[in-house]
Amino acid sequence: MTDFPDLTVQLDDLAFLDQQIRYHWTLTGTNTDQNGAERKISISGYEVWEIGMTGLIATSRGHFDSEEYQRQMNA
């Protein structure tokens, strides 16, 4: 993620619901635009994981509030 060189992703929760694994996370980082303006962002979301026959993550579907992300990026 070159747009956020100091990107961190924190594990908030790992939940097992209805044959799914949900990995809840919070992403924080700083974006610098072409004019040098810095925007610190913090957004939470989760991934829905399906585990394949090998025991590894076969699919991951991400969910987050895109309107809140855009609000922070344009603040």
pLDDT of 15-70, one tens digit each? 998 778 999 999 999 998 888 889 999 999 999 999 889 989 999 999 999 999 99
What is the predicted pLDDT for the residue at 37?
Answer: 85
2: in domain:
no
3: in domain:
no
User: Going by C-beta distance under 8 Å and a sequence separation of 6 or more, which residues neighbour residue 13?
Assistant: 22, 23, 24
**Residue 47: which domain range?**
8-74
46: in domain:
yes
What is the predicted pLDDT for the residue at 34?
Answer: 82
Distances (CA, A) of 73 to 44, 51, 58: 14, 33, 31
Cα-based angle 25, 30, 36 (whole degrees, multiple of 5)? 160
Domain tally, the chain: 1
What is the predicted pLDDT for the residue at 59?
Answer: 94
pLDDT of 1 higher than 80: no
Across the range 9-18, mean pLDDT stands at 93
CATH code of the domain containing 15: 3.10.450.50
68: in domain:
yes
39: in domain:
yes
Query: String of b and e for 49-63 (b: at least 16 CB within 10 Å)?
Result: beeeeeeeeeeeeee
12: in domain:
yes
